[in-house]
Structure 1
Amino acid sequence: MHIRPSAPTMHDHHHDHRHTHAGEDTSRRLVLALLLTLAFAAVEAIAGLHAASLALIGDAGHMLTDSLALGIAAMAAVLARRAPTARHSYGFARSKTLAAFANALFMLLLIGLLLWQSIARLSDPRAVDADTVTLVAVIGLVINLVVAFMLSGHGHDLNTRAALLHVIGDLLGSIAALASGILIKLTGWMPIDALLAMLIAGLIAASTLNLLRTAMHTLMNGVPSSLSLPEVGRNLAGVAGVADIHDLHIWELDERHIALSAHVSVRDMGDWPGVLERLQARCAKAFGITHTTFQPEPAPARPLRFVPSPGAPNRKPPDGDDRASA
């Protein structure tokens, strides 16, 4: 929602929202992945019960919960395309980050459950139908490879990354079930079923924690990892006509949109329109930031030197003062 004043005010905003069909394509891929995963989860559960395989039963439960995760991701992708409203002026793009955060927590719960079941099975090994396990694992491997390929082209989207993480967990689970079936067929050693399940849980846990940390950083309005707040502050303080930059904040609206706000001490308030244009151009060209808000202020008689620290003025000394290089 854009509100344009009839005369210049002390706040100047620059927005650039690009709408493409990428969101719709992501939603379709997530829905198709959901249907494939849900269908195979039913097949795998029946086969796991028949074969008495913890690897298959666990993977079936994992795929069933992954179906829920994919459903959450698909709904978030649809919601994120809604236009901003008077109550949600930033729109709903961050719903994808919320979905990613929820799915990461859900994944940690599944990992804990799988580890608990595996430890219990190690203390009480059971006979496993290796032929059924191997056959179903091959089918699951193919389906998970197809689903992973469908989602892998959208790795920049945190929501899709969370969904893909669940699918990769299923893919590794299918590999574990396949290895379990083959090894049991060749050696008859039943504990391998539970040991492989524990190995997969450990591998998935590292990626899940990383995703959880990334989602939390975005939800807490952290500075994007690709940017340095002091570096941006020093760069903007060097724009012609700027005396200093302070109260600088940078955060992500979602993976594609970064926002910036700052107070700008201007040497000549009459030159503010030109200074604003130069600041916007610098943000876009140097950092790819197109959603900016700058508040101009008259420069003090002697601006402080640039201090690159959050919460303190980020300032550049006046022309001729060489203390900034000290």
Structure 2
Amino acid sequence: MALLNDAVHNLSDVPALGISYLAMRWAERPADSEKTYGYHRAGTLAAFTNAFVLVLLSLWLGYEAFQRFRAPVAVVESWMMWTSVAALAVNGGITLALVRGRGDLNLRSILVHNFGDALSNIAIIAGALIIHATGDSWIDPLLGLAIGLLVLWSSIGILRESSHILLEGRPLDLRVEDVARAILTVEGVQEVHDVHLWSLGGGHHALSLHARIPDMHLDGCERLLVSIQRVAAKEFGVEHTTVQLERAGLPSKSGYGTCEKIAFTPAIENSIRVVR
């Protein structure tokens, strides 16, 4: 059972690697009139697809292991051991080759996948030795269940992170309030609100915000815009920054009264207002 589970898991590597490779090539395409931000999320979509398939696979592996607990079958230890040794060499090599690309979600999904395969191979080798020494056949479905749980655990994290990006969640390493406070350090910016920060995938981020400034000439506005974009890029790695400038001193009925502290809008967490 453990060997069957591992074989099915390894078989799933073929389409997973194919999807990830196509996504990597697709993500390299430049932005066009249809995809104005580019194709960065192709890798995120591939990671989500691979993780979703692995969740379904892990549930099937768990079901098959449970069935073997109810109806044990004879196990050929030598087949378990030598097949797993060969698979360990392949999965270990792929894992080492992908370590450098672990910052990319798409590549990390394949890295986690193959690392799980390698751990499964080690567990099967150990299980084969124990079965050979003790003759306990229940170890086989137990290993199969453990492999299914390992696949499920490794997939859920990738599924959660990729869905967060696809739903335009903020980059997990950035905080909206930190970005707003950094923009306030730009000379001339009096208030920042309606700050929206999201990930495009592949380590590319985008930012949009409203900034209130004193009345000034157009050339002064342009210099201030450049300064805001420079702060966003240098301190937070944001590549796309969109700023709407608003003139300070608007009447109170406009709804832009100042606040003494950061105020979160209940419905939209990242719609905030920060003043000096």
* Map of 1:59 onto structure 2: 6
Identity %: 35
TM alignment of 1:1-326, pairs within 5 A: 54-270=1-217, 271-301=220-250, 304-305=258-259, 306-309=261-264, 310=269, 312-317=271-276
Question: What is the identity, as a one-letter code, of the residue corresponding to 1:185?
Answer: H
Divergent runs of 4+, >6 A: none
Where structure 2 has 5 or more consecutive residues not aligned to the other structure, the ranges are none
Using the TM superposition, give the Cα deviation of residue 71 of structure 1 relative to its aligned residue in structure 2, in angstroms: 0.9
Question: What is the identity, as a one-letter code, of the residue corresponding to 1:287?
Answer: F
* Greater shift in the superposed pair: 142-151 or 299-308: 299-308
The count of aligned residue pairs is: 264
| Distance in 1, Cα, partners of 2:271 & 2:43 | 33
Using the TM superposition, give the Cα deviation of residue 59 of structure 1 relative to its aligned residue in structure 2, in angstroms: 1.3
Deviations 1:12-63 (A, max 9, x none): xxxxxxxxxxxxxxxxxxxxxxxxxxxxxxxxxxxxxxxxxx2222211111
| Distance in 1, Cα, partners of 2:207 & 2:249 | 23
| Distance in 2, Cα, partners of 1:228 & 1:77 | 28
Question: What is the identity, as a one-letter code, of the residue corresponding to 2:157?
Answer: N
Question: What is the identity, as a one-letter code, of the residue corresponding to 1:304?
Answer: T
Where structure 1 has 5 or more consecutive residues not aligned to the other structure, the ranges are 1-53, 318-326
| Distance in 2, Cα, partners of 1:292 & 1:184 | 61
Q: Could you say if the C-alpha distance between residues 55 and 311 of structure 1 is closer, same or farther in structure 2, counting changes exceeding 3 Å?
A: closer
What is the RMSD of the two structures over their aligned residues, measured on CA atoms? Answer: 1.6
For the 8 Å contact 1:241–1:268, the answer to whether it is kept is no
Q: Could you say if the C-alpha distance between residues 121 and 313 of structure 1 is closer, same or farther in structure 2, counting changes exceeding 3 Å?
A: closer
For the 8 Å contact 2:183–2:192, the answer to whether it is kept is yes
For the 8 Å contact 1:253–1:259, the answer to whether it is kept is yes
Using the TM superposition, give the Cα deviation of residue 191 of structure 1 relative to its aligned residue in structure 2, in angstroms: 1.0
Question: What is the identity, as a one-letter code, of the residue corresponding to 2:158?
Answer: L
| Distance in 1, Cα, partners of 2:16 & 2:239 | 32
Using the TM superposition, give the Cα deviation of residue 243 of structure 1 relative to its aligned residue in structure 2, in angstroms: 1.7
Deviations 1:271-292 (A, max 9, x none): 2122112212211222122321
For the 8 Å contact 2:80–2:125, the answer to whether it is kept is yes
For the 8 Å contact 1:234–1:308, the answer to whether it is kept is no
